[in-house]
Homo-oligomer: A and B are copies of this chain.
């Protein structure tokens, strides 16, 4: 595995980009064995700038739900791109996409489009406040809902007023939720929930029926909005919305990542009750009406329907999960595999706080051509067919074997 080009780019980046790279790609957060710069992708395969190829279980941290370079999506995007990137207003794709979304997503009576997941989440909060006339927003402690002041995981450069009306509860804890609702009093605007708990470096947790029902009931009582943040999980579990799994419909929902198979797009969907509020708030951006990402989203949603994509990804994810469990046991490791199979997290039982065993495993898998993450949930795509899963499992077999040898050497 050569790293020459990647190292050279790291040096150059360090001079002109603070810290070498920012956000979730910041240089300091990239494990030293991992490539930092990429060249291309195709299907489930990813290539770094040094020409190393990997079976990719991150899918660009979510977006590539049909795999890299889906022909139907790229053709649709290119067709509009050849006509105009940004015009003086929307194209017909905006309307066609909104219609398709309203047909696809159970609670959706309307849609609005943005560029970032953070845009969609901030928009949901603004619409919830406009529609309810209230201010308090309840959020699960530790949940990631974006990288803007009211919800960023970092407090650097943030003021306390940015979160003046944010109250926290513990995920899946109905008592804690009830306490936060009580604290909001008659000022409850919204309860925000993720599709499931997918916080960094801890076991994933699906919502319990009691918790999801309590959230819905509390919003109904208060005239508040139940907001499902489907930015990360959207379209991988249920095309109609992730809380369909719980039999619960939100009032507002935020989407991004996978909606256009990597083309920059985000979306807010909502019910009739919040239509006027959505009309009255002012949210906009220079590139929000661009047609190519919307054409890409139309092609993506149609392809997801055609493939019954959630079931494909579930089956592939389950095959990966079963294979890893069998390998781990055979080599004397016990895994904690959590999350829906299409968005798996692999942890080692008894690992330390920085997931050292997990990192070691990912490093060994990387050397053998498989790109995984040890602390963040991973993502499958419809390009992860059984053949790719089985090839990946050959690599992880080697990774477990090497870890077992290392343990023997150390013993």
A162 CB, min distance to chain B CBs, angstroms:
8
Interface residues of A in 117-162 (CB under 8 A from B): 117-119, 122, 125-130, 135, 147-150, 152-154, 156-159, 161-162
Closest to A129 in B: B157
> How far is it, in angstroms, between the C-alpha of A36 and the C-alpha of B64 when the chains are bound?
32
A148 x B148 contact (CB < 8 A): yes
> How far is it, in angstroms, between the C-alpha of A112 and the C-alpha of B13 when the chains are bound?
11
- The reply on A88 being an interface residue by CB < 8 A is yes
- The reply on A289 being an interface residue by CB < 8 A is yes
Interface residues of A in 326-370 (CB under 8 A from B): none
For the complex, count residues of A whose C-beta is within 8 A of B: 113
> How far is it, in angstroms, between the C-alpha of A24 and the C-alpha of B118 when the chains are bound?
19
A16/B58 contact (C-beta < 8 A), A117-B286, A164-B159, A290-B264 known: no
> How far is it, in angstroms, between the C-alpha of A102 and the C-alpha of B14 when the chains are bound?
13
- The reply on A83 being an interface residue by CB < 8 A is yes
User: A38-46, A168-176, A202-210, A314-322: which lies at the B interface?
Assistant: A38-46
Residues in B whose Cβ lies below 8 Å from that of A164: 159, 161, 164
User: A93-101, A216-224, A384-392: which lies at the B interface?
Assistant: A93-101
- The reply on A194 being an interface residue by CB < 8 A is no
Task: Pick the most buried of A37, A152, A165, A256: most chain B CB atoms within 10 A of its CB.
Answer: A37
B91 x A287 contact (CB < 8 A): no
> How far is it, in angstroms, between the C-alpha of A88 and the C-alpha of B31 when the chains are bound?
13
> How would residues 238 to 251 of chain A score, 1 for a CB under 8 Å from any chain B CB and 0 otherwise?
00000000000000
Interface residues of A in 12-34 (CB under 8 A from B): 12-13, 15-19, 21-26, 30
Residues in B whose Cβ lies below 8 Å from that of A179: none
B99 x A86 contact (CB < 8 A): no
A46/B147 contact (C-beta < 8 A), A116-B285, A159-B165, A286-B62 known: no
> How far is it, in angstroms, between the C-alpha of A261 and the C-alpha of B86 when the chains are bound?
8
Closest to A276 in B: B18
B157 x A17 contact (CB < 8 A): no
B263 x A110 contact (CB < 8 A): no
> How far is it, in angstroms, between the C-alpha of A63 and the C-alpha of B130 when the chains are bound?
31
- The reply on A307 being an interface residue by CB < 8 A is no
Query: Which of B41, B110, B112, B284 is A87 in contact with, Cβ under 8 Å?
Result: B41
- The reply on A400 being an interface residue by CB < 8 A is no
> How far is it, in angstroms, between the C-alpha of A111 and the C-alpha of B288 when the chains are bound?
23
